[in-house]
Structure 1
Amino acid sequence: MRRPTLSAEQRRTLLLGVLGTAVTLAVWWVSAATWLAGHQVPTPPDVLDVFRERGPSYYREIFSVTLGEAVRGYVVGVGAALVLATLVLLVPRLEPVVMQLAVVTYCLPVVVLAPILIIVHDLPEPGGHSATAVDLAAVSVFFTTVVGAVLGFRSADPAALDVVSVYGGGKPQQFFRVRLVSALPALFTTLQVAAPAAYLGALLGEYFDRHLEVGVGPSLILAQNNRETALAWSLGIACAVVAGVAYLAIGLLGRFVTPWSKGVAR
């Protein structure tokens, strides 16, 4: 049994990613130190100074709140989407209703939905989580997961479905024995895309919910009001890192669970 290894294409992609990051940092540094010097754009050393001044405890405290909201919303949104996608396969008549619901959640403007959710929910407790942020995280992943799951379930080999039917299996047996296995690569890709979306939804929920005291959203609002540009940049970069790590983590999990989708031997 061999462990999965990076292919030549994956190594090339990783190298290009590292080079792209280095070039971006260089352009940022030069631009902030020259023609953008009068526009309150901090240099990378300025942002690093803020990281050192605030310390790991500060970022750990605020990001733990936002991540908790994102994870809750992710679980709720993905869970509901997978249940409805499964119902579409078992009861095809439900497809128009489910798809219309998914499209509605996708088309709802956040600036309209967030105030409604804030009014509906109770005020968050001091140091607690924002229910609005959890809801927006769930809504952010619902449409993508429903569509990806339905397409994945329908990618099953018709011959394999016929074999199960010949041996007396119905739609539930076809689903669990064939459709679910064949859909795993597509499902993990969908879950991978949904992870940063859930984090963004939670962050937007915090930004709109001005009653929240602790979190990345309130910290961004304070940095904006106090004109602390370097702090705002440090929070933005940290958010990008967190979302990127979540994306990569689910991708690696999918690669481990479904090695056949990339032709990797185990």
Structure 2
Amino acid sequence: MEFGWPVLGLAAAIGAWALAVVVFDVPEIVLPSPADVLDAFLRVPGYLLGEAVTTFVVIVLGFALAVAAGLVIGVAIAASRIVELMFSPLLVAFNAVPKVALAPLLVVWMGFGQQPKVVMALLVCFFPVVLSVAGGLTSTPVELVELARSLRASRTQTFLRFRFPSALPQIFVGLKVAMPLSAVGAVIGEFSAGDEGLGFVVVQSGANSDTALAFAAIALLGVMSVALFYALVLAERTLLPWVRETTSQR
């Protein structure tokens, strides 16, 4: 039944969209109907799916690099008060910079191709990972810390056996925030530096006034982002079954 509600919600949204197009007589170039979008997809399904694979690779690579870098920097911030005081303001300031403004610079530095797109995805989704890792590691319950001390655990053992497992639920919150942001970053990169991918399809379709094809690419991007998000949810439930048993997440 849990699966049925999202399907019902999607059907209601598509129905409202189709009704609005008919009632307000919206031109197709402004807002195509769901049927027009489906026709556009069926017109070139192989092309769109191929571009979706390209964007998928960029999203996953950018996200994976953000997780790796975020874990290292988050652990460093949590482990040292000096590191936190030195670099936390810089991270906050960098996160406040609109990443779209960096897109042309990435093209200058790296040229066209996959590299600037992956880096853009990394930059957009990096901060939530760092924040969740540092926050999770610095909020270990006091009783766990006392237990580690009573067992005379070393600093490494305390981290691996107590602090990191305790931080995992919060880390997964950051990962679930970062995954859709990685998709946003990948599309921004494809807008500026791409000659392939769903973002490039949207730009080209807009330039050619093929709004239905642009919406088909956007819909594919949405489906892909939702699938990746729920893959993380599944991973969290598989790796951390105790979270649902010991909290109100039921």
**TM-score where L is the length of structure 1:** 0.86
> Counterpart of 1:107?
96
CA distance in 2, matches of 1:123, 1:23: 41
CA distance in 1, matches of 2:23, 2:133: 49
Partners of 2:190 and 2:198 within 8 A in 1: yes
2:33 aligned to which of 43, 54, 72:
43
CA distance in 1, matches of 2:102, 2:137: 31
Deviation at 1:169, TM superposition (A): 2.4
**Following superposition of structure 1 onto structure 2, how do residues 128-139 of structure 1 map, counting pairs within 5 Å?**
129=114, 131-139=115-123
Local SS of the residue matching 1:135? helix
Q: Does 1:89 align with 2:67?
A: no
**TM-score where L is the length of structure 2:** 0.91
Deviations 1:96-140 (A, max 9, x none): 23322321231111232111111111333xxxx2x2211111111
> Counterpart of 1:6?
none
> Counterpart of 2:216?
234
Of 219-228 and 15-24, the range deviating more from structure 2: 15-24
2:163 aligned to which of 156, 179, 189:
179
Partners of 2:144 and 2:162 within 8 A in 1: yes
> Counterpart of 2:188?
204
1:64 aligned to which of 35, 53, 58:
53
CA distance in 1, matches of 2:4, 2:234: 17
Q: Percent identity?
A: 27
CA distance in 1, matches of 2:28, 2:217: 19
2:136 aligned to which of 143, 147, 152:
152
Of 113-122 and 101-110, the range deviating more from structure 2: 101-110
Local SS of the residue matching 1:224? helix
CA distance in 1, matches of 2:149, 2:116: 45
Deviation at 1:198, TM superposition (A): 0.5
CA distance in 2, matches of 1:121, 1:145: 25
CA distance in 2, matches of 1:38, 1:112: 33
Partner letter of residue 254 of structure 1? E
CA distance in 2, matches of 1:133, 1:105: 18
Partner letter of residue 230 of structure 2? L
Deviation at 1:224, TM superposition (A): 0.5
Partner letter of residue 257 of structure 1? L
Partners of 2:148 and 2:158 within 8 A in 1: yes
> Counterpart of 1:195?
179
> Counterpart of 1:7?
none
> Counterpart of 1:225?
207
> Counterpart of 1:169?
153
> Counterpart of 1:262?
244
Deviations 1:29-82 (A, max 9, x none): 111123143363211111111111112x21221112111111111111111111
Partners of 1:102 and 1:142 within 8 A in 2: no
Deviations 1:166-223 (A, max 9, x none): 33323322111101111111112211221111111011011012xx322112211110
Of 69-78 and 225-234, the range deviating more from structure 2: 69-78
CA distance in 2, matches of 1:123, 1:256: 39
Compute the RMSD of aligned alpha carbons. 1.7
